């Protein structure tokens, strides 16, 4: 009988310990879940105030947060968050994706020739060397590779044609460093206007000292059309101040996306617009100096026209 009591007592103690352990783990899980929920609520608030396309005139922040909380049990945290954001903003550039997927793309090693292809063209009649730079896209973390590649391939006496047709954009910062190579140090490039909770905050960008001046003496022409979009338009818009633009109007996307992170998600949302002056309004489509038909764009008519313009200008300067 005594042995049975001892055994039952031990079993009871074990049950107490297990119950205490389970209670502790449950509290930790609840605490973790509460922390994660608060993180998503903070992200919802940030997007509500900062996204240019949030329907603030229709919905209050409290209503948006309530919608998220009401759907937690039915949908789970991540799906409730996604449904909430997509419901209360009309952001056409909004993306919500797994963090692992974004990081694998953002940090992957890229071949420079996926972004830039350089072709040297000899204009025998006018005895000119043209460096034809086909800029296909503007990948993140590629600025140093851009600088080294262009520095190796372009001579100080070369005419430079930058072909931006078919360039859908990409990293604004890669575009900014690319542009910097064509201007002297401390040259104003563009302004980005960020929407915050209380006001619009303007950040003016000047060219990077590490990249400045490499091609400041080269004559430059840009080829663009409606497939020149976003960060590629920034190159056209800024270089328009010191180059000739050929082709057609650009697409006209002045909006800038930023990134927010939660525990497992990356949110790309629109919280800023860009312009090429200190005026507080988004930039418009970039107009060319010389309009070309689509056939002329495809046939690279720019090479002939740019060569003749350069030849004419140099003759005039020489008094010819």
Across the chain, which distance is largest between two alpha carbons, in Å? Answer: 123
Please give the angle made by the CA atoms of 166, 169 and 182, to the nearest 5 degrees.
Answer: 95
CATH number for the segment(s) 111-317: 3.90.226.10
Q: What is the pLDDT of residue 126?
A: 72
What per-residue confidence (pLDDT) applies to 13? 60
Q: What residue segments make up the domains of the chain, in order of their start?
A: 2-91, 111-317
Q: What is the pLDDT of residues 94-153, one digit of tens each?
A: 999 998 877 666 667 789 999 999 999 987 777 788 999 999 999 998 999 999 999 999
Distance CA 4, CA 10 (A): 10
Distances (CA, A) of 259 to 48, 93, 153, 170, 268: 14, 12, 34, 13, 5
pLDDT band, residue 33 (cuts 50/70/90): confident
| pLDDT value for 16 | 57
Return the higher-pLDDT residue of 6 and 249.
249
For 159-212, how does the pLDDT look when each residue is reduced to its tens digit (9 = 90+)?
999 999 999 999 999 999 999 999 999 999 999 999 998 889 999 999 888 899
With a pLDDT cut of 70, the percent of the chain lying above it is 87
CB 94 within 8 A of CB 270: yes
| Phi–psi pair at 110, nearest 5 degrees | -120, 150
The answer to whether 247 and 302 have CB atoms below 8 angstroms apart is yes
Strand segments (E) across 102-206: 116-123, 128-135, 159-163, 188-195, 200-206
**Residue range 277-300: mean pLDDT, rounded:** 94
Whole-angstrom CA distances from 275 to 5, 164, 250, 265 are 83, 19, 14, 30
Closest C-alpha among 255, 254, 240, 256 to residue 290: 240
**Residue 2 confidence (pLDDT) above 90:** no
Closest CA to 182 of 224, 214, 138, 148: 214
Kindly tell me the sign of the dihedral angle through the C-alpha atoms of 97, 99, 100, 103.
positive
Give, in order, the Cα–Cα distances in Å from 235 to each of 174, 181, 262: 10, 11, 32
pLDDT computed for residue 280 by the predictor: 86
């Amino acid at each position: 009988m005594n042995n049975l009591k001892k055994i039952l007592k031990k079993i009871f103690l074990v049950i107490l310990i297990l119950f205490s352990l389970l209670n502790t783990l449950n509290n930790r899980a609840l605490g973790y879940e509460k922390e994660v929920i608060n993180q998503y609520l903070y992200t919802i608030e940030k997007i509500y105030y900062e996204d240019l396309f949030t329907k603030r005139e229709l919905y209050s922040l409290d209503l948006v947060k309530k919608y998220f909380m009401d759907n937690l049990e039915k949908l789970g945290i991540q799906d409730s968050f996604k449904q909430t954001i997509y419901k209360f903003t009309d952001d056409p550039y909004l993306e919500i994706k797994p963090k692992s997927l974004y990081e694998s793309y953002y940090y992957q090693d890229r071949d420079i020739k996926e972004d830039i292809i350089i072709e040297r063209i000899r204009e025998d009649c006018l005895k000119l060397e043209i460096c034809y730079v086909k800029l296909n896209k503007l990948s993140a973390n590629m600025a140093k590779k851009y600088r080294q590649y262009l520095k190796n391939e372009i001579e100080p006496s070369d005419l430079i044609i930058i072909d931006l047709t078919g360039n859908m954009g990409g990293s604004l910062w890669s575009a900014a460093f690319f542009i910097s190579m064509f201007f002297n140090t401390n040259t104003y490039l563009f302004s980005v206007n960020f929407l915050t909770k209380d006001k619009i905050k303007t950040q003016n960008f000047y060219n990077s000292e590490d990249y400045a001046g490499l091609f400041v003496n080269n004559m430059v022409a840009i080829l663009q059309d409606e497939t020149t979009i976003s960060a590629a338009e920034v190159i056209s818009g800024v270089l328009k101040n010191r180059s000739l633009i050929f082709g057609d109007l650009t697409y006209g996307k002045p909006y800038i996306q930023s990134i927010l992170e939660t525990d497992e998600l990356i949110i790309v949302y629109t919280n800023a617009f860009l312009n090429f002056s200190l005026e507080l309004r988004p930039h418009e489509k970039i107009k060319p100096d010389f309009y070309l038909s689509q056939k002329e764009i495809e046939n690279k008519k720019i090479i002939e026209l740019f060569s003749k313009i350069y030849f004419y200008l140099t003759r005039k300067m020489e008094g010819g």
